[in-house]
Structure 1
Amino acid sequence: MRTVPTVAITGGIASGKTSFCRHLSVFLENTEWFDADACVSRLLDGSEEVRVETAKVLGKGVYVGGKLDRAQVRSRIFSDPRRRVQLERVLHPRVRKIWMAQAVRSKAVGRKFVADVPLLYEAGWETACDFIAVIACSSAKQLQRLTSRGVCESLARKMIAVQLPMEEKMRRAHEVVWNNGPLQLLTEQARITADYLNEHYG
């Protein structure tokens, strides 16, 4: 009987993880998906306990009219590393608990489990994975993509700098997908990855 795997997709900020996962889902069979960023958003918006703890860490004003001001969050956690670490202590254990529970349910019914987890290595969660694909690109490309989304250059550089270096993530991966080129190439790499996973894990 083939092993039912836990697969992680990770990489640097603005490296193209979300786009890769979207294309991968077209080709991958018998799979359940987990999105760590979406899980964080649900916790920040929907968990009263998390909302209270977040306001304690980041200060008043991060929730405006009951809604999280994400621009304020970015500004505060990247200008004060202590706040970023404290917020991660609030969020990471909860995200991991939800992730692991979903992975167990997926494996119980024989489905591959794929998690899009941007901070996989930073959080020390790679030991829970059977296969890890790192979506990588140059730092210049990361900066270009972030600034094109309206992030100022100084903040974009800080966002890149706080993550584990791309080279280290690439070194620790089972597969590296280089995403400096056109979308067509990323689509083809997603197909190749899906073919491998379908062949080895069913």
Structure 2
Amino acid sequence: MLLPRCHRIKQPASRSLFQSRPAGRLFIFMKRIGLTGGIGCGKSTLVDYLIGQGMCVVDTDQLAREALSPGQPAYDTVMESLKGACRLEDGTLDRSALGHLVFNDDKKRRWLEGLLHPVIRQAWESRLHTWDREGCPMAVVVIPLLFETQAQDLFDHVICMACSEKEQLHRLLQRGWSQEHIQQRLKAQWSLKEKMDASDGVIWAEGPLSSTFQQWDQIYHRIVSP
């Protein structure tokens, strides 16, 4: 069983907190937070909380859905490659069927990741630049495969959502996933322990939601008031 780690926040990357905008006025440099974690570890729940707090948040899972919507280049490429195998009657992509297909075939999974990851990164980086220009003090980017895509150096801090293996399995089974599919999904990414060890802070998302939110609040205040 994985054990919760004490919050550990590294110092931000070595750069000034103040920089000049094109207009010439000074502003506090927007802090960029990468939020990652295992499947079923509560990332979506925390995102809803952060949005409710008025924070600037972008979820790369949502960006992936947008990239694979009809009319987008990635959608056309996938449909052409798979010969419409994952196409629903209304023309949209059957994400469940696509997931089972690529997680049963490492070659197809790597191909899909190679297609989507650059598009998704460009989208969230563009969102961050916009928020930065607008004066947003902090932005959170949710990236399940943050370390796997080597995006950690693009953030001031990386926070990992985690829970016990038993709880994670329970949550994924509740989604209707089979044991085999769960293992395929877990095998395709870093283990929870690896993600926790590589992160600057860990939120142990097991127990009441109030505990999860309280842990975020503590980390947030340590980031904004180092």
TM, length-normalised to structure 2: 0.81
**1:91 counterpart residue number:** 116
1:146/1:19 CA distance change after superposition, 3 Å: same
Taking the aligned partners of 1:47 and 1:96, their CA distance within structure 2 comes to 19
Taking the aligned partners of 2:171 and 2:196, their CA distance within structure 1 comes to 20
Q: Does 1:51 align with 2:51?
A: no
Taking the aligned partners of 1:154 and 1:57, their CA distance within structure 2 comes to 25
Taking the aligned partners of 1:108 and 1:3, their CA distance within structure 2 comes to 10
Taking the aligned partners of 1:6 and 1:151, their CA distance within structure 2 comes to 33
**1:76 counterpart residue number:** 101
User: How far off its partner does 1:59 sit?
Assistant: 4.5
Name whichever structure is richer in helix by fraction.
1
The aligned length equals 198
Which one is further off, 85-94 or 185-194? 185-194
Alignment match of 2:60 (pick from 36, 54, 71): 36
Taking the aligned partners of 2:74 and 2:124, their CA distance within structure 1 comes to 17
Q: Deviations over 1:139-181 (max 9, x none)?
A: 2221110110111121112111211011111111111111122
Unaligned residue ranges in structure 2 (runs of 5+): 1-17, 19-27
TM, length-normalised to structure 1: 0.90
Identical columns (%): 26
1:108/1:48 CA distance change after superposition, 3 Å: closer
1:139/1:15 CA distance change after superposition, 3 Å: same
Taking the aligned partners of 2:157 and 2:39, their CA distance within structure 1 comes to 20
Unaligned residue ranges in structure 1 (runs of 5+): none
User: How far off its partner does 1:193 sit?
Assistant: 2.5
Taking the aligned partners of 2:81 and 2:172, their CA distance within structure 1 comes to 25
Taking the aligned partners of 1:50 and 1:82, their CA distance within structure 2 comes to 17
Query: Residue type of the partner of 1:141?
Result: E
Asked if 1 retains the 8 angstrom alpha-carbon contact of 2:70 and 2:76, the reply is no
Q: Does 1:129 align with 2:152?
A: no
Taking the aligned partners of 1:58 and 1:144, their CA distance within structure 2 comes to 32
Query: Residue type of the partner of 1:12?
Result: G
**1:14 counterpart residue number:** 40
SS at match of 1:45: coil
User: How far off its partner does 1:94 sit?
Assistant: 0.4
Taking the aligned partners of 1:12 and 1:23, their CA distance within structure 2 comes to 18
Alignment match of 2:130 (pick from 105, 124, 132): 105
